[in-house]
Every structure is written in structure tokens, then in C-alpha cells.
Amino acid sequence: MSEIGEEYSAVLQRNFIGREPVKPFFSSVTGNIETIPLDGPYWQKNLESRVLFRTAVLHVLALIENPVFLELGPHSALAGPIRQISAEVSSSAPYVSTMSRGEDCTETFLSAVGKLFELNVPIDFSTIVTGGHCLSDLPPYLWNYETEYWQESRISREWRNRAFPSHPLLGVRQLESTSLEPSWRNLLIVDKDCSWLRDHTIENSMIFPCAGYLAMVGEAMRQLSCPHTGLTMRRILISTALLLADMGSTELVTTFRPHRLTDSLQSQWWDFTISSFNGHSWVSHCTGQVMSEAGNPHTAKTDNTPLPRKLESARYYNFMDTAGLQFGPRFRRLENARCGTEQDSSTADMSSMTIGDEENYHLHPTAVDAVIQSAFFAALKGHPDTTLYRRVPTNIASLTVHQCEPSGDMKILTSATLPSHGGDLVGQAQQVLQNGKIIFHMEGLRMSPPQAAEAADKDISQYPARLTWGPHLDFLDDKHLIQPSLPRDVYTPLLDELAQLCLVYTHRLIKDVPTSVSHVEKYQAWISTQVQSLGESIDPAIAASDDESIMAKIRSLTQTMSDTPVAACAIAMQKVATNISGLLSGQTEALDILLADNTFYEMYGSMDTCDRSEFMKHLAHTKPNLNILEIGAGTGASTVQILKDLTLPGARGFASYGNYTFTDISSGFFVSAKELLKGNNNIEFRTLDISMQRKELQRCLDWGSRDCFICEVDRVKGYTIGYQLCTTCSSSQVGQHG
């Protein structure tokens, strides 16, 4: 086209006057917004130049807020390219075509106008609809209201006119049920509906709490009775524990039916059943009776004399944790607890914690669960034997609950006993007081050991602590605490040579090959950077060798190191170099080839080249309740040895740390790591991208509360030799050094 460009421009200039655009004009000639007159030279350039359609569309998406693309042409030819370009920047800008091949042009044009109107684009309808006038002299229509022509089923009408929204635990009323025997159904998704349920863990499983059943019955009773200020329940039986799904939903159905006194006479009580579907059958979890309570709460008569024994709630929650009742912070609401030394009673304050959905309950389930927990304080009188705390509620004789003020102060009074021979813990009476009124009263609570749990270890020391002498970490020479576990001077030269061979071989194959895989592009850039940084330090013999000779040398070196502790590192490098073409095209996944033959796991073991056992043991002795964070834990090979060093010797193997957070950039290793570490307590698994912003990183990691950081420091020369670096840091040090 350049041959006729000048002539084309001259012809245009004779009969054509270019003007500046009056609207934003994104040119596919330059790719930018044009403000100059669109005269002959511009259209000559349009004739001769490559079409920059993608560049122009990207500028529209970047500069125009809420754009709509309208194609004026015989067919929707640009729909596909515009959709692909929009996807690159995660945009969903609408596209409208005025005509389509094989369809009536009038219909497609008017359809396009309608779509633009739906998208709130201003339309001048006067150019489409001709002028007219209204007729005002038509006779009125005689409507007949005697017959109803709207046919609607009962289910449809009740669905449209539901009196109550969905409740996070109870769900919604089943339309197929009758008002004589109503039922409710809920698909419970923990993270969506009630994230606080994650804090109710028993023996490492997320269990639906007894207080949750009581809350479901309370909401159902509120929907059935009006006016309603409270309720009374009796003969409550929790027969089977409900294990909540960590991912997905749990189907719950609550059924009510009137309690019959005789064949023809009913009482004010309702019989209720709460069941769940486990995938192949229905399981009953909780049964009992309930009726509405219309009266006001009674005034409390209390003795303000404090009980003699003061209890540290955090300590006793640790006892519960050891016993298998691993409650999270939202189920640890007891404060300022006291108990008797002779009498079986206790008092405690309810923490003012706000869960966020208190308006859905008479008394929030976390608060009701705290009342149940208080039975331990009263019955055990502060006894530290953790085996006595291994109990869950199974029966409640009766309870009454009234609507409370969530933000108000609450006090818990409890009387409970535990037979000297063991058995079930029995709560005689438990009350919650608010503003001098009894808003919750429960009698006959019975707590039994979990049926599915293993028998308790009978060889448990009755002593609350034992004395162990050892030097403080600050008085030890750290040079002798961390020692290399293999002679690096023997294996490092071999790994250096193998790394250079793999770098040169890989760089030759991929340096000019395009790839559409984003992480492979980064790998290409990294390989080039490493080769450039080595520069003249690369062995001349390697640089002069052809590809076949280099690959033969790679195989030879890998074979030489096959019986050494670093064999897995050599095999991993050889696998990557051998499969580089498949990795580049995206047909082969790096993890697939590294996980084969257990290479990745063995490589992590080879990377753990330091013996830090003495350092970890003395660190744990200096501070036995360490809050530890491991970054890039991977397969957990190093974590196994670290936890072994943090475990006290003995039959029970008490952990000398408070919490251990296992992190990696991907959760792909968590399944095998959880299996590998399943015998250890207080371990939390979290994903972590170390490349995120510092403030976001500190927030995600709860940076200031950590005592010990374990991270992998890479020496990267085409291969990775990792060692674990463990340092104790204060929050100020973390803030200073990042």
C-alpha cells in the first residue's frame, strides 16, 4: 500500500477536510487518543500501517470508565478479539453488534439499541420512533374484580411471603412441612454462616457444640410463638456428635411436633429432633422438649462473698486443650473465675467479646458453652488432672433462657459435682445473671467422656510440674550449638560443577524459545541472570562443550553422587535439565517430575545440613511456651527433627512449645505434612506468600507475637542447598529488620 500512499493522500486532500475529533478517538493506527485533525496524511498512514487494534482497545479499557463496545459492521467479527483482550486485564466490558450475518438487519439493529438502553447508554429515541400524540377520548375499561385470575400454589405463596429470613444455624422453614409439624432445613457452611464454629474443636475434629443445638431450638420456638421473650427446654439428649465438614456444607433438619398427653389431648410442649445427613443416611443428634416462656426473668438472690480459690482461666483452658477440648479464642470466654475448696461451686465473669451475630440468638452459643465449661471449675475445685476435663455434654434435665443484652455484663454461678470414682460430671444448677436478673438457668447438666475417643492414659503424673535444670541460652556459645551435619567441602565442588553444567545446558535450549507459561518466563529470566553473573567463572571446558557432551557429563556427575547425602539434589537438577523442553511448553509440571520417586522429599532432607538439636533444646528450656513460625516448611522433613528436639524426654513426650505454625507458599504439601506430623500437638498449617507487602505480611503472620522464626535461606547457584536459620526476635526487632 505504500506505493499508492502518496497518491491516495493527494486525492483525499482535494475533496476532504480533516477535523479534530469531538469525542475521545482511540486510533488503531497509533494506538493512542488522537486530538490532531484526521486529514489526508493520517488516512495515508492508516492505509500503510499495521492495525494496532489490541493497543487501542487496551487504552479504552484503561482510560474509559465502564466502557461499552458497539461494532458498526455487517457482522460481529470483533466479538472474539475484544473478549480476549478484555480477559487479559480481567475486564468484562459489554459488547454489542448492530448486524449479524444471516439475520434481519432491522431486528438486529433494534436489538442492539435495546441492549444499549439496558446498559444505561443514552439513546435518542426520536430518530427511531416517529412523532405522535396521545388519545384522551377513549372510553374507560370496566374492570371486573369478582374473579381472581392469578393462580398460585400454597408453596409459592409461602415462599414469597416468608415471615423470617434464613437463620445461620436453623436455616429456613421447609415449605413442604405443615404448621402442625413444622420443620426447618439448613445447608451449614462454616466459613460462610458461622466461622466461630471453627474454634470448637474436640480431639482435632471440628464438632458442632451442644450450645448450637439449643440455639437452633430457641430460634424455631421464637418463630412459632408470639409474643416471645424466652423459652424453657427439658429432657435434652445429645446422642451423637456432629462432625462438621471443613470444606463444603453440612445438611441439618430440625423437626417439631406437638407433645401429646393422651391420644386426643396435646400439651404446650413441643418434641424436637435435630438430624443431619451423612451422605447415605440420616443421623439423629439432639432430642428434647421445648415450650415458649412468656414471663419476665426472675430477680437473682446472690451471695456476694467471693469464693476462696482464685483460678487462672488461661491455665485451665490449657488443661482442657491437653484433654482434647481444643477450644479457640471465641470459645474461651470465662474470666475472673473462682471456686470453692469445700463446696462444689464456682463463679466467673463472661468476657465482653463481640462475635458479630448476637442478634440471631437469645444468648450467643459461645456464651452458653462458657456456662457449660464452668461446671469443670465447680466440680473439680481447680484440680489440675487433665483426665478429669475430658468430658462433653450429653444430657440436660431442664433450662430456661430469656432474651439478653449482648453488650451487657454477665456473671455465671455454677454448682456441680463429680463422683470420687469418676464417671459423669453433673451440673446441679447453673445461672447467668445480667443486671440482677436470671437470664439463663440450667439444671441437670451431665457431661460424659467422648465415646469415640481412645481410653485415657492411666500412667499420668499427678504432679502439675517437674523441675529440670539447664543453662540459659544467653550464657552458651552459639558456635557450639549449631554444627554442620555433613562435610560441605567434599560435596560443594561437585554440586558447583553440576550446577554450571545444568545452567549452560538449560540456557542454550531456552534462551530464544518463546513460552506462554508465566512462571516459566520468570525461570528463563532467572537462568539468564545466573549465567551472566557467573560470567568468566564458568569452566572454559564446559563453555566449549556441545550439548551431548554436557548431558553425558551431567549423568556422570549424578551417578558419582548417587551414594552421597546430596544425591537427591543432583537427581533433581538432572530431572529439570532433562525435561526442560516439556517444562517450557507447559506439557510437563515441575512438581510432577520432582515428586516422582520421592525426589522432592529426599531433597528437603539433603538440604537440612545443620544439626541444631542442642540450640533448639536450650532455646525451649529458656522459654518453654515458644510461639514458633516456620516459613517455607515444604514437605516437613526438617520440621520432624525440630519438633523432636522440642519434645521433652519421657513416655508422654510433653511439647516444650506453645504453638507451631507450619507455612508454605502452597497448600499442596499440607496433606502429606499433616500425616507426617500427626503425632504432634499445637500445630497450625497456613499458606504464606513471602513476596507480599511487609505490612500485609506482618498482619497475616501476627508478627509481633512470635518468639521464634525458622526459615530457609537459599544459596542459589543453579541448585539450592538450604539450611534452617532459627532466631528469637522481639516485635521491635521484627519491625526494624523486616
* 350-362: pLDDT as tens digits: 998 888 899 999 9
With cut-offs at 50, 70 and 90, classify the pLDDT of residue 654: confident
Residue 549: pLDDT above 60?
Answer: yes
CATH 3.40.50.150 maps onto the chain at 608-711
What is the H or E stretch that residue 638 is in? Answer: helix 637-645
15 class by beta-carbon count within 10 Å (0-12 exposed, 13-18 middle, 19+ buried): exposed
The one-letter amino acid at 181: E
Mean pLDDT of 399-418: 91
Selection from 278, 274, 269, 281 nearest residue 212 by Cα: 274
In this structure, the strands spanning 325-327 and 392-402 are unpaired
What is each CA distance from 146 to 149, 418, 638, in whole angstroms? 10, 72, 83
Q: Which three cell numbers stand for residue 197?
A: 464454629
- pLDDT confidence of residue 170: 95
pLDDT band at 641; cut points 50, 70, 90:
confident
Considering 59, 285, 344, 369, which one is annotated as catalytic?
369
Q: What confidence tier does 347 reach under pLDDT thresholds 50, 70, 90?
A: very high
Main-chain phi, psi angles of 392, to 5 degrees: -130, 155
3-state secondary structure at position 532:
helix
The lowest-confidence range among 146-160, 176-190, 351-365, 710-724 is: 710-724
Report in angstroms the alpha-carbon separations of 281 from 123, 189, 251. Answer: 59, 20, 11
Sheet holding 325-327, edge to edge: 205-206, 200-202, 325-327
Neighbour-count burial of 105, counting CB atoms closer than 10 A to its CB (0-12 exposed, 13-18 middle, 19+ buried): exposed
**Rounded-to-integer distance, Cα 431 and Cα 171, Å:** 28
Delimit the CATH 3.10.129.10 region(s) of the chain: 165-293
Is the bond preceding residue 227 a cis peptide, omega within 30 degrees? Answer: yes
Q: Where in the chain is the domain with CATH 3.10.129.120?
A: 309-396+404-448
The identity of residue 383, as a single letter, is: H
Given a cut of 70, whether residue 96 has pLDDT beyond it is yes
DSSP 3-state assignment of 562?
Answer: coil
All three cell numbers of 171: 436455616
Q: Are strands 172-173 and 95-97 parallel, antiparallel or unpaired?
A: unpaired
SS3 7: helix
Residue 210: what pLDDT? 95
| Assigned architecture for domain 309-396+404-448 | Roll (3.10)
Quick one: CA torsion of 355, 361, 362, 366, rounded to 10 degrees? -40
pLDDT, tens only, 573-619? 888 888 888 877 777 877 778 878 878 777 776 666 677 778 888 88
The amino acid present at 681, given as its one-letter code, is N
CATH code reported for the domain at 608-711? 3.40.50.150
Residue 23 neighbours by CB distance under 10 Å: 5
| Tens digit of each residue's pLDDT (9 = 90 or more) over 500-516 | 888 888 888 887 777 77
**Position 71 pLDDT exceeds 90:** yes
Predicted pLDDT at 386: 78
- pLDDT at site 453: 34
Contacts of 528-534 with C-beta under 8 Å, sequence gap 24+, read: 530/503, 530/716, 530/717, 530/718, 531/503, 531/504, 531/507, 534/500, 534/503
Is residue 13's pLDDT more than 80?
Answer: yes
* pLDDT(557) > 70: yes
In angstroms, the Cα distances linking 732 to 659, 695, 712 are 21, 14, 22
What is the rounded distance in angstroms from the CA atom of residue 89 to the CA atom of residue 94? 14
Is a pLDDT exceeding 50 seen at residue 724?
no
CATH number of 2-125: 3.40.366.10
The proportion of the chain whose per-residue pLDDT surpasses 90, expressed as a percent, equals 32
Q: Round the average pLDDT of the chain to a whole number and report it.
A: 83
What is the pLDDT at residue 72? 92
Count of C-beta atoms within a 10 Å radius of residue 279: 5
Of the residues 200, 362, 364, 441, only one is catalytic, namely: 200
Average pLDDT in the 257-263 region?
89
Name the nearest CA neighbour of 453 among 368, 276, 326, 643. Answer: 326
Check if 369 is active-site. Answer: yes
Q: In this model, does residue 244 exceed pLDDT 60? A: yes
Confidence bin at 461 (pLDDT 50/70/90): very low
Give the range among 180-184, 511-515, 677-681 with minimum mean pLDDT.
Answer: 511-515
pLDDT higher than 60, residue 730: no
**Whole-angstrom distance, CA of residue 375 vs CA of residue 380:** 8
Segment 516-530, tens digit of pLDDT:
777 777 888 888 888
**Distance of alpha carbon 348 from alpha carbon 362, whole angstroms:** 20
Rounded distance, CA 321 to CA 625, Å? 14
pLDDT at 696: 65
Which of 514-528, 692-706, 722-736 shows the lowest mean pLDDT across its residues? 722-736
pLDDT category of residue 264 using cuts at 50, 70 and 90:
confident
Separation between Cα atoms, residue 197 and residue 200, nearest integer Å: 5
CB 687 within 8 A of CB 668: no
Q: What is the pLDDT at residue 566?
A: 83
H or E segment at 551? helix 547-560
Q: Are 603 and 609 in contact (CB under 8 A)?
A: no
**Is 0.75 topped by the overall pTM?**
no
Per CATH, the homologous superfamily of domain 165-293 is Hotdog Thioesterase (3.10.129.10)
Instruction: Please identify which residue in the block is written with the cell numbers 510432577.
Output: 592
pLDDT value at 732 more than 60: no
Q: Tell me, what's the pLDDT at 704?
A: 66
Q: Within 13 Å, how many C-alpha atoms sit on residue 39's CB side?
A: 8
Q: For the chain, what's the residue count?
A: 738
Amino acid in the structure at residue 305: T
Q: With 0-12 CB in 10 A as exposed, 13-18 as middle and 19+ as buried, what is 716? A: exposed
Phi, psi of 19 (to 5 degrees): -120, 160
* Confidence class for position 725, pLDDT limits 50, 70, 90: very low
Residue 422: strand pairing partners: none
Contact between 204 and 243 under an 8 Å Cβ cutoff? The reply is: no
Q: Which residue has the higher pLDDT, 15 or 327?
A: 327
